[in-house]
Amino acid sequence: MHKLRKFSSGIIVSLVVFFGLLMLPRLVAHAATLTTGSLSISDSRPSTASVTYTATFRNVSNSAIKCIQMQFDTQSDGAGSAPTGMVTSGATYNAAGSDYVPDVQSWTAASSTAGLVKITNATGETAAGGTGIVVLTGITNGSTAETSYFMILTTFTDDACTGGNEVDTGTVKFIYTTGQLVSLTIDPSLTFTVDAVADTETVNGEDLTITTTDGTIPFTGVTVSANGVGAHLLTVNTNAGGGYTVYTRYTAALTNVASDTITDHTGTNAQPSSFPSVGTEAFGYTTTDTTLTATGDGADRFTTPANQWAAFTTGNLEVAYSAGPVSNEETTIGYQVGVAGATEAGVYNTTIILTATPTY
């Protein structure tokens, strides 16, 4: 399956792809083993600040606990050290996204040691059991890319998080990435690549006007009578039983040095629409995936009717989806930009981020 996108003149957009995930169960003495774990990182670029880490595990014991500990380490048994450059002192327990315990707001996170965050409640609560989610915000990523690290989640019966008082424990593997290729070669597995597409191709019936490169979308030749259109080819391999989702977002609207911005397209991810005619200022994306999550206008909402587009936002937006394992599944994401006669002169920039998240 292929999917494509479009963009416009005088605009250079650098593309960054990231992802960090993988699960390896481990045993701590007297602790039950959490299963089917994942760690989702909101932005896995090295040294990025204010990052959100979301840990999800199944097989949570329905037991009373007073401490949830998350340890980030170079070794799966926790005997190594924190990833170089990682800062956890500002970590905050996000009550809005967490559900490991019933009264999430009564728990507090603290980190006096790099890479070690303890979320505690002196009174304690009985864990909800089943599937548990723990969300930490305000973390600064480690500074080394393409190196494997581990996150070890352990719960304790005391709020000092004392060894010997463990209830549950589980380990997931993650990496920081700076390039467009994400390759996780362990069991379970994930490979995600983003490749350039030539200007001789089309995306959802729209002719491309530029050739993308490894990491850039260099719009040229955009005028009031000619939009800019580009694309990248996304390829995913994973044996994740729950399949995968690829998300896209931008860091901000296309902006020049004078702080002028290009207007976003009016269509949304749930309800994409036709791109406006030339001479209209707009910026958006499309995807060739016909089996997205069935929301809004449906799973094939970008292709039926043909050639539908949506606006980027700073939040993740679905552009590729599979409900099960895939081998070399391809999707084309397209980018398009149009300008009007009143569009201010200048070089406009933004960063587009693509994230592949498997569900094991």
Pair of tokens at residue 258: 């004078």
Mean pLDDT of the chain: 89
**Is a pLDDT exceeding 60 seen at residue 196?**
yes
Q: Where residue 180 falls among pLDDT bands split at 50, 70, 90? A: very low
Residue 114, judged by CB atoms within 10 A of its CB (0-12, 13-18, 19+), counts as middle
pLDDT in tens, 45-71: 999 999 999 999 999 999 999 999 999
Distance CA 106, CA 126 (A): 13
pLDDT at 181: 42
**Section 125-153 average pLDDT:** 94
Q: What is the mean pLDDT of residues 228-247?
A: 96
Can you read off the two tokens belonging to residue 180? 């467009």
The pLDDT assigned to 115 comes to 97
The average pLDDT across 164-180 equals 87
Given a cut of 50, whether residue 97 has pLDDT beyond it is yes
Rounded to an integer, the average pLDDT of 16-39 is 54
pLDDT, greater one: 345 or 95: 345
Q: Are 233 and 330 in contact (CB under 8 A)?
A: yes
CA gap 344, 341 in Å, rounded: 8
pLDDT at 187: 59
The predicted pLDDT at position 214 comes to 80
Does pLDDT of 345 surpass 90?
yes
- At 29, the pLDDT band (50, 70, 90 cuts) reads very low
Written in H, E and C, the secondary structure of the chain is CCCECCCCCCEEEEEEEECCCCECCCCCCCCEECEEEEEEECCCCCCCCCEEEEEEEEEECCCEEEEEEEEEECCCCCCCCCCCCCECCCCEECCCCCCCCCCHHHCEEEEEECCEEEEEEEEEEECCCEEEEEEEEEEECCCCCCCCEEEEEEEECCCCCCCCCEEEEEEEEECCCCCCCEEECCCCCEEEEEEECCCCCEECCEECCCCCECCEEEECCCECCECEEEEEEEEEEECCCCCEEEEEEECCCCECCCCCECCCCCCCCCCCECCCCCCCCEEEEEECCCCCCCCCCCCCCCCCCCCCEECCCCCCEEEEEECCCEEEEEEEEEEEEECCCCCCCCCEEEEEEEEEEECC
pLDDT of residue 328 exceeding 50, the answer is: yes
Round to the nearest angstrom and report the end-to-end CA distance of the chain: 22
* Mean pLDDT, residues 278-291: 98
CB count, 10 Å around CB of 59? 17
- The DSSP bridge partners found for residue 109 are 119
